[in-house]
Amino acid sequence: MTSSEELKQAAAQAAAQRVQSGMVVGLGTGSTAAFAVSALAQRMRKEGLQFIGVPTSERTAEQARSLGIPLATLEEQPRLDLAIDGADEIEVGSLNLIKGAGGALLREKLVEASAAELIIIADASKKVAQLGTRFPVPVEVVRFGWKTTLARVEALGCQAELRRTADGDPYLTDEQHYILDCQFGPIADPAKLAEQLKATVGVVEHGLFIGMATEAIIAGPEGIETLRRP
């Protein structure tokens, strides 16, 4: 593994230790979250850990099933003890997040809004002083009239681009929506922007996760750092 992958794995393993038998756990999406799913499966095999997972994407559900993790839908388990997921950017101090590079922001937000705790796992490169510094804000939009939605989103002060697959086709979420990757630059007021995006006609959801993370477990060259929301 590269050093970045080793750091992600270290953070994931630390978060997996927070899960106790009997819990209902939200399983995030993305390369870092995949390490957490693997770490939880390992605890099942070695320690007899018993829990139910609620996946945030079809991709995560497939991985969890292949590892023997029992799954439920959000309808079946509407209250979660905790959720574990990665992030594209973590704003130090507030623990506000940008998420959605993996394309699962809508289901992630639905699952994680139902969790008593949201633990974010990442390597140190994901820490930023201000959201929007390194990553665009993903915005999930309905396919019908998406160009008009793009224009409305750009009127909020960004450059928006339709996300595409490696083949050049529009990327489709699990809910069959499009994603606009929106370059706002450093965001002075993420909460205000979140409200503006949510109120935009054609927008289904956005990748600004405001006030949702309770804790971030961040792995760096000097070890594990734990940040908690004030």
How many whole angstroms separate alpha carbon 41 and alpha carbon 61? 13
Q: Structure tokens of 55?
A: 């996946």
Q: Is 181 left (phi over 0), alpha (psi -120 to 50) or beta?
A: beta
Locate all alpha helices (DSSP H) within 30-145, ordered by sequence.
Answer: 31-47, 58-66, 105-112
Round to whole Å and give the CA distance between 18 and 9: 15
Within 13 Å and on the Cβ side, how many CA atoms surround 143? Answer: 8
Residue 58 per-residue DSSP state: H
Give DSSP secondary structure letters for 142-207. -STTHHHHHHHHHTTT-EEEE-B-TTSSBP--TTS-EEEEEE--S-S-HHHHHHHHHTSTTEEEES
In the set 89, 91, 108, 140, the catalytic residue is 108
Residue carrying the six token digits 């970045």: 4
Is 47 annotated in the active site? no
Tally of CB atoms within 10 A around 86: 27
Which residues are tagged catalytic?
108
